[in-house]
A and B are shown apart, each in its own frame.
Chain A
Amino acid sequence: MSDTGVQLKDVKKSFSVVDVIRGVDMEIKRGQFAVFVGPSGCGKSTLLRMIAGLEDTSAGKILIGDRDVTDVDPADRGVAMVFQSYALYPHLSVFENMAFSLRLAKRPKAEVKEKVHEAAQVLQLTEQLDKKPAQLSGGQRQRVAIGRAIVRAPEVFLFDEPLSNLDAELRVQMRLELARLHLKLGATMIYVTHDQVEAMTLADVIFVLQGGYVQQSGAPLDLYEDPSNRFVAGFIGSPSMNFFNATVVARADGRLTARLDGQPDQSFDIAMTTALEPGTPVTLGIRPEHLVVSEGEGMRVTVDVAEELGGVSYQHGTLEGGEAVIFQQIGARHGMHGTVQTILPQTDRIFVFSREGDRIR
């Protein structure tokens, strides 16, 4: 047995004339927790549903374990899915909801009972087994949906934004439970989310999808620290990265100097292996946490909104050239609203992108 959990080979999907997935290759190792992120409508759900077998694959291959399941029925793929809407069967009790697949598979009564009770134990649902879904809280319904997946002992769990209907507190709690569950079951899990924090905390590997392609994949911190294009750089991290247009003015051995278009008195010295000709237009990417307020020279920002979160605050403003800037301050009550601040980037944390959006290292 190889250690492949799920593998996609040049998978494509079109709905009539619209190409949603244009060519996705990915390999998720057995037991990994993979997270799909990307802007709304980029095809995350579609890709997940293709893995589940709920959508046909227009081209390419899907492998689960070593098995080519591209044309296999959903029930025979060894996958279980947890839907955003939970999709519990409203007319059945919690027990029967969880037992549904086992009953269809004509498993012996004793086995059904044992498996359902085992799953209920793990999910703290033992007390709720006789209730109907309508009598449960949102978090409990969520757990039943997960329980329904667990009893089938699938090779791969698929989650489509499973926590998005829960309130913030419960979401945090369920997130931890999911992490624990993953440790306990050791099964491959694929998880679609909009939530940065869920993605960063749960994932072994994140796949950033956009435009029908995987833009980048890797461990959460690798994507954060080393994005391979402007899209990923802007998508991973919250609040998102600042981008400034700049022009290369000088280059030296392993370094270049770039001048901000919006504030030409500011230029930064950046370590680079690629040698760019002076005059090349580039885009500089700087995260809000890497912009520091300075006493002397720097980028002059008029702060118009301050988001004070307690531990940190995010100052939103505009540069002289009109570009929007967000920078982070530790602590709150800085009273910067309406003032002009001078900020400087940590030059070793500046990312350089071509104007087309490719990372230049």
Chain B
Amino acid sequence: MTAKQARNIAFSALVLIAAAIWIFPLYWALTTSLRSENRVVSEGAGVLMDELNVSAYIDVLSNSKLPMWYLNSVGTSLIITVIVLITGMMCAYALSQLRFPGRKALYLIVVGSFMVPVPALYVAQFVLMSDLGLINTWWGIILPQLIVPVVVIVYKQFFDAIPKEMREAVLLDGGGEFTLLFKLYLPLNWGITAALAIITFISAWNNFFWPFLVVTSESMMTIPVGITQVNDSFGVFYARMMALALLAAAPVIIGYLIFQKRVTEAVMISAGVKG
């Protein structure tokens, strides 16, 4: 065995250990969810998956408002994604391609708003939503999440990179701003659009604190908020909580498996902008 092979093996072992550490909580959640509640808290419940009991799942699916929560999560996340992308794209196009007074200042505001931590706005937003009578509504969940400066910044960077001549060719061919945006700038950036859609959707789906604040009625909750309800209504029932958590994560996990490459790209892009 050469030194190089030895190093490779050592490296692989290290990676395996790291992966195992990372995946253990997931594994533990799965194991727990497949046990009976009694077994979970009984002594001697080991690390090994020794039971395949789906009662926690059945219970959660039949006794909670999970289907409603799914619907709320999917609905609000989709609406947020669509609106964020359309407005972000248009805003970025204007900032990148149109010349108007105050353009630079506007861009600085967008970049600046990127620096404000979202939780700092919760109180003001809550008061606003309350004044607008939007507590316990989809729009109450959606509206504050529509401000995503990173989408504007990323789109602007990509729009900036499109050669000026292409824009001029469209102008000569008889196109206006809408033709430019929807027939040139957008089609040239489908990849980035998909990536931005994915990160926007995931962050809306995963958002816990805002929906938790703005929704109190059980039927309007999104899945992450719903998970806490299991706690309340059943006491601490670990198997059911884990089952619910896994069900909540399932669409994201499945989505990830399908769009693996795009998601990785998306995370890298947003990390690139944020870092």
Q: Do A and B interact?
A: yes
Residues of A within 8 A of B (CB): 49, 52-54, 73-75, 79-81, 83-85, 87, 89-91, 100-101, 104-105, 148, 152
Across the interface, which residues of B come within 8 angstroms of A79, CB to CB? 172
**A81-B174 in contact (CB<8A):** no
**B171-A89 in contact (CB<8A):** no
B163 contacts chain A at the CB level, 8 A cutoff: yes
The CA-CA distance from A89 to B172 in the complex, in Å, is 13
B41 contacts chain A at the CB level, 8 A cutoff: no
As a 0/1 sequence over residues 173 to 185 of chain B, the CB contacts with chain A under 8 angstroms (1 = contact) are 1110001000010
Across the interface, which residues of B come within 8 angstroms of A54, CB to CB? 168, 171-172
From A83, A90, A104, B173 is in contact (CB under 8 Å) with A104
A-B contact pairs, 20 of them (CB 8 A): A54-B168, A74-B172, A75-B171, A75-B172, A81-B169, A84-B165, A85-B165, A87-B163, A87-B169, A89-B169, A89-B170, A91-B188, A100-B170, A100-B175, A101-B172, A101-B174, A104-B173, A104-B175, A104-B179, A152-B173
B133 contacts chain A at the CB level, 8 A cutoff: no
Across the interface, which residues of A come within 8 angstroms of B255, CB to CB? none
Q: Mostly helix, strand, loop or mixed at chain B's interface?
A: helix
- Add 17 more A-B contacts to A74-B171, A101-B172 (CB < 8 A): A49-B168, A52-B168, A54-B168, A54-B172, A74-B168, A75-B172, A80-B172, A83-B168, A83-B169, A87-B166, A87-B168, A87-B169, A89-B166, A89-B169, A89-B170, A101-B174, A105-B174
Residues of B within 8 A of A (CB): 163, 165-166, 168-175, 179, 184, 187-188
**B184-A89 in contact (CB<8A):** yes
From A84, A91, A104, B187 is in contact (CB under 8 Å) with A91
The CA-CA distance from A152 to B172 in the complex, in Å, is 10
Across the interface, which residues of A come within 8 angstroms of B171, CB to CB? 54, 73-75
**B174-A87 in contact (CB<8A):** no
Given that A91-B187, A91-B188 are contacting pairs, would A52 and B172 also be in contact in the complex, using a CB cutoff of 8 Å?
yes
Within the complex, the shortest CB–CB distance from B261 to chain A, in Å, comes to 20
**B163-A81 in contact (CB<8A):** no
Within the complex, the shortest CB–CB distance from B119 to chain A, in Å, comes to 40
Within the complex, the shortest CB–CB distance from B165 to chain A, in Å, comes to 4
**B173-A101 in contact (CB<8A):** yes
The CA-CA distance from A87 to B163 in the complex, in Å, is 8
The 10 closest A-B pairs by CB, nearest first: A87-B165, A101-B173, A75-B174, A87-B169, A83-B165, A104-B174, A91-B187, A87-B166, A74-B171, A74-B172
The CA-CA distance from A226 to B127 in the complex, in Å, is 82
Within the complex, the shortest CB–CB distance from A101 to chain B, in Å, comes to 4
The CA-CA distance from A148 to B166 in the complex, in Å, is 13
**B173-A75 in contact (CB<8A):** yes
The CA-CA distance from A83 to B163 in the complex, in Å, is 11
Across the interface, which residues of A come within 8 angstroms of B187, CB to CB? 91
Within the complex, the shortest CB–CB distance from B196 to chain A, in Å, comes to 18
The CA-CA distance from A211 to B239 in the complex, in Å, is 83
Across the interface, which residues of B come within 8 angstroms of A83, CB to CB? 165, 168-169
**B173-A100 in contact (CB<8A):** yes
Across the interface, which residues of B come within 8 angstroms of A81, CB to CB? 168-169, 172
The CA-CA distance from A104 to B179 in the complex, in Å, is 8
The CA-CA distance from A105 to B170 in the complex, in Å, is 12
**Interface core residue of B171, B172, B175 (most chain A CB under 10 Å):** B172
The CA-CA distance from A91 to B163 in the complex, in Å, is 14
Across the interface, which residues of A come within 8 angstroms of B174, CB to CB? 75, 101, 104-105
The CA-CA distance from A53 to B174 in the complex, in Å, is 12
Across the interface, which residues of A come within 8 angstroms of B179, CB to CB? 104
The CA-CA distance from A105 to B163 in the complex, in Å, is 24
Within the complex, the shortest CB–CB distance from A172 to chain B, in Å, comes to 25
Within the complex, the shortest CB–CB distance from B163 to chain A, in Å, comes to 6
Beta-carbon nearest neighbor of B179 in chain A: A104
The CA-CA distance from A80 to B165 in the complex, in Å, is 13
Beta-carbon nearest neighbor of B189 in chain A: A91
Across the interface, which residues of B come within 8 angstroms of A89, CB to CB? 166, 169-170, 184
The CA-CA distance from A259 to B163 in the complex, in Å, is 55
Within the complex, the shortest CB–CB distance from A31 to chain B, in Å, comes to 21
Within the complex, the shortest CB–CB distance from B275 to chain A, in Å, comes to 29
The CA-CA distance from A90 to B163 in the complex, in Å, is 11
**B163-A85 in contact (CB<8A):** yes
The CA-CA distance from A89 to B169 in the complex, in Å, is 9
Across the interface, which residues of B come within 8 angstroms of A90, CB to CB? 188
The CA-CA distance from A85 to B166 in the complex, in Å, is 9
The CA-CA distance from A260 to B173 in the complex, in Å, is 58
The CA-CA distance from A89 to B184 in the complex, in Å, is 7
Beta-carbon nearest neighbor of A154 in chain B: B172
Across the interface, which residues of B come within 8 angstroms of A49, CB to CB? 168
